[in-house]
């Protein structure tokens, strides 16, 4: 039996992005057992991983104490492979036959391709979600088969990359109108416990029988199961956007002050729409201080552009 230690990200989106190489290891090492080290937010994404021995949750501590905790929990084991997406020094102090530690490329590339470089893979594996059969049954109970579903996440990790809620409301209203491209669909709103304010403009724009507000009501692994079901997902640059893309659901990412060439949703069923301001222009103005901006930097993206992008994606994925 082989033992593999896979050290992945704290952020939800990054953990999803890195999951493709984890799936590659599952397929190419059929006798291996896996230990996953990740942050507490990403932990639910790995609960249904096949051949899972343990999930080590790395809650951040002052002075990098979480890395010492990880070392103490893993140093006594003999590993066949250690894969460290975080590029930490901890991996150098573990007993292992092989170690693969991510080194950032000199020329930035999409983060999915960057993750694949750690294993020196020519073919980039797609991100993968691990969903239990019980989770799939719960998803069917949540998003039934009575009508198509349009999923949306109007929030993000910071205000600067949040599209205004009233525009979300207007867009969704047009899409599910009687003469719209998703006539008869019902909107499912996703988000965390603190995202209720972002959902409010959508709830105000739609009739109560047109929307299901799941904000703060689902565990992350249940969100991942549910996001396999919608006909279309629309959302800001967030972890849920990457979950939807990994599920194979047609996913429209609303981008602006983040670089979609690096962080855009990955896969054949995905698309990106952004306003007139390029990433380079955003960066020239704010540089790394973008994430500290208290207001949205997405105001140059209008509803019409998002609507046309949604229609285009629906048409392209019609046979899905």
Radius of gyration of the chain (CA): 20
Q: Tens digit of pLDDT for each residue in 124-172?
A: 999 999 999 999 999 999 999 999 999 999 999 999 999 999 999 999 9
Q: What is the pLDDT of residue 128?
A: 96
Q: What is the pLDDT of residue 320?
A: 65
CA 24/CA 72 separation, integer angstroms: 28
pTM of the model: 0.96
Quick one: pLDDT band at residue 319, thresholds 50, 70, 90? Answer: confident
CA 177/CA 169 separation, integer angstroms: 12
* Average pLDDT over all residues of the chain: 95
Q: Where are the domains of the chain?
A: 2-119, 135-316
CA 226/CA 230 separation, integer angstroms: 8
Query: What are the tokens at 300?
Result: 């140059």
Q: At the fourth CATH level, which superfamily is domain 2-119?
A: Glycogen Phosphorylase B; (3.40.50.2000)
The reply to whether 2-119 and 135-316 are identical in fold is yes
Quick one: pLDDT band at residue 106, thresholds 50, 70, 90? Answer: confident
Quick one: pLDDT band at residue 206, thresholds 50, 70, 90? Answer: very high
Q: What is the dihedral of CA 155, 218, 5, 15, to 10 degrees?
A: -20
Q: What is the pLDDT of residue 35?
A: 98
Query: 135-316 — its CATH code?
Result: 3.40.50.2000
Burial bucket for residue 47 (CB in 10 Å: 0-12, 13-18, 19+): middle
Query: What are the tokens at 207?
Result: 């009739």
Q: Tens digit of pLDDT for each residue in 23-68?
A: 999 999 999 999 999 999 999 999 999 999 999 999 989 888 899 9
């Amino acid at each position: 039996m082989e033992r593999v230690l896979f050290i992945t990200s704290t952020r939800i989106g990054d953990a999803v992005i890195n999951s493709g190489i984890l799936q590659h290891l599952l397929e190419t090492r059929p006798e291996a057992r896996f230990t996953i080290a990740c942050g507490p937010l990403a932990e639910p994404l790995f609960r249904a991983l096949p051949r899972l021995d343990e999930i080590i949750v790395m809650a951040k501590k002052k002075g990098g104490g979480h890395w010492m905790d990880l070392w103490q929990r893993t140093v006594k084991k003999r590993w066949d492979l250690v894969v460290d997406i975080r590029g930490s020094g901890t991996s150098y102090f573990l007993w292992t036959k092989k170690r693969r530690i991510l080194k950032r490329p000199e020329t930035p590339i999409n983060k999915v391709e960057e993750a694949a470089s750690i294993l020196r893979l020519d073919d980039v594996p797609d991100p993968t979600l691990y969903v239990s059969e019980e989770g799939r049954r719960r998803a069917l109970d949540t998003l039934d088969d009575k009508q198509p579903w349009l999923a949306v996440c109007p929030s993000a990790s910071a205000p600067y990359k949040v599209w205004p809620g009233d525009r979300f409301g207007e867009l969704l209203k047009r899409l599910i109108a009687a003469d719209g491209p998703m006539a008869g669909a019902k909107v499912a709103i996703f988000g965390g416990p603190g995202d209720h304010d972002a959902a409010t403009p959508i709830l105000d724009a739609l009739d109560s029988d047109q929307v299901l507000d799941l904000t703060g009501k689902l565990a992350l692994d249940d969100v991942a199961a549910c996001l396999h079901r919608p006909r279309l997902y629309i959302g800001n640059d967030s972890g849920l956007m990457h979950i939807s893309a990994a599920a194979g659901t047609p996913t429209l990412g609303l981008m602006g002050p983040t670089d979609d060439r690096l962080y855009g949703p990955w896969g054949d069923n995905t698309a990106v729409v952004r306003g007139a301001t390029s990433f380079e222009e955003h960066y020239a103005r704010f540089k790394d201080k973008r994430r500290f901006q208290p207001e949205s930097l997405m105001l140059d993206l209008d509803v019409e552009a998002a609507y046309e992008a949604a229609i285009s994606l629906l048409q392209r994925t019609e046979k899905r």
